[in-house]
Amino acid sequence: MMLMMVRRRVLFILSSLCASVFGVEGTKIKSKGGHGQFPITQNVTALEEAAANMTCRVDFNDNTSLQWSNPAQQTLYFGDKKALRDNRIELVRASWQELTIRISNVSLADEGQYTCSLFTMPVRTTKAFLTVLGVPQRPEITGFTRPALEGNVITLTCTTSGSKPAAHLRWFRNDEEVQGSMEVTPRGKSFVVTSSLSFQVQRGDDGVAYTCMVEHGSLNNPYMTTEVLEVHYAPRVDIRHSMSIPQEGHYFKLECFSRGNPIPEPVLWSKDGGELPDMERMIVEGTELTFTSLNKTDNGTYRCDASNRLGSSSAEYVLFVYDPNAVGQHGPDHALIGGVVAVVVFITLCLIIVLGRYLARHKGTYLTHEAKGAEDAPDADTAIINAEGNHMHTEEKKEYFI
């Protein structure tokens, strides 16, 4: 009986002691909860395939554990204890006031809302959003035809994929920006972006560099891809000469310039539609036609022809050799020529005036005589003669009656 009473006494003491201890501890938790303390986090932005640090802090903590959970509400770390088997996730720092973890080789699937929990009574939680930027791939340009033909219409297309948010594409013709049409297509959590540029090919596009540039928040420097356009076109020809006024006895050179792609075949020189005359004073070297000493016999039309597989072209130059004695220091006397022309015009005007007055007077006389003798005359000349005869006859009659 005594043993039973002793046991009851011990159990009572232990029960009282436990109640006392638990009552004090409960007061502490409630007190902390009364402060309304929440864990502190920040949203994080990371590049795809890079690393992201997630940090959770508290200002005051009485040995209460912190915990990180992923968007699927799976516990990643509870204090310094790893809960999820993912080799990419590792502990950076664990203390009563901070829990920092690192997610390596971040993917787009890791994006979402993460939760930090402080295990007070009740549990306090704070959210942090992890944003993952999808890095765009380097752009690819398609649509080039090698070579392109002058006059054709081509469409260049630039494509980049994997960006999140969608990347921005820009076109440049050499250093000048040109506008293309852009299209964005979702692909999973990332985007495919294309931009098209259509134009009619000109010979001036030969050798022009077309560049597609990708701009995105994940890139420190834009990605660029460049293609050089090759254009084939028929030749164009023009002739240049060494002096403005060719003079007899002087040196004179004609040069034929031909531009085409492919490069035109060697040019052909001809004169007045036929072959060049065989003269010692005339030298043909490729595109150049040289007269070592001009002569009036060199006068004529000289023609240069060039061709490639796309077509042919020609140019002409009319050569007139001046007499050096009739040519001044700066060429022929234009003032003298102008004076001669003025005199000729003046004389011509005077002749026109005199001739007009004469015709006017003759017409008046003709009509007068015709009226007087036109009644019985078979034609105009007879009428005039009759008119003159009647006039004389009338005068004679007047003398007769007097």
Phi and psi for 94 in degrees, rounded to 5?
Answer: -135, 120
Amino acid 105: pLDDT: 95
Amino acid 68: pLDDT: 96
Helix/strand/coil for 154: strand
Q: Note if the pTM is more than 0.75.
A: no
Distances (CA, A) of 242 to 5, 298, 326: 138, 16, 20
Instruction: Enter the tokens of residue 362.
Output: 């003759």
HSE value, Cβ hemisphere, 13 Å, CA-based, for 102: 9
Reading the chain (402 residues) residue by residue, the pLDDT tens digits are 333 333 433 333 333 333 333 332 322 333 333 345 889 999 999 999 999 999 999 988 777 889 999 999 999 999 999 999 899 999 999 998 999 999 999 999 999 999 999 988 889 999 999 999 999 999 999 998 889 999 999 999 999 999 999 999 999 999 999 999 999 999 999 999 999 999 999 999 999 999 999 999 999 999 999 999 999 999 999 999 988 889 999 999 999 999 999 999 999 999 987 888 887 889 999 899 999 999 998 999 999 999 999 999 999 999 999 988 865 544 445 555 666 777 788 888 888 887 877 777 765 544 444 444 445 555 555 544 554 444 444 444 444 433
* φ/ψ bin of 49: left (φ > 0), alpha (ψ from -120 to 50), beta (otherwise): left
Helix axes 380-401, 334-373, angle to 10 degrees: 60
Helix/strand/coil for 54: strand
Phi and psi for 206 in degrees, rounded to 5?
Answer: -65, 125
Q: What is the DSSP string of 305-343?
A: EEEETTEEEEEEEEE-PBPGGG-BTTBS-HHHHHHHHHH
Amino acid 331: pLDDT: 47
- Decide: residue 237, CB within 10 A, 0-12 exposed, 13-18 middle, 19+ buried: buried
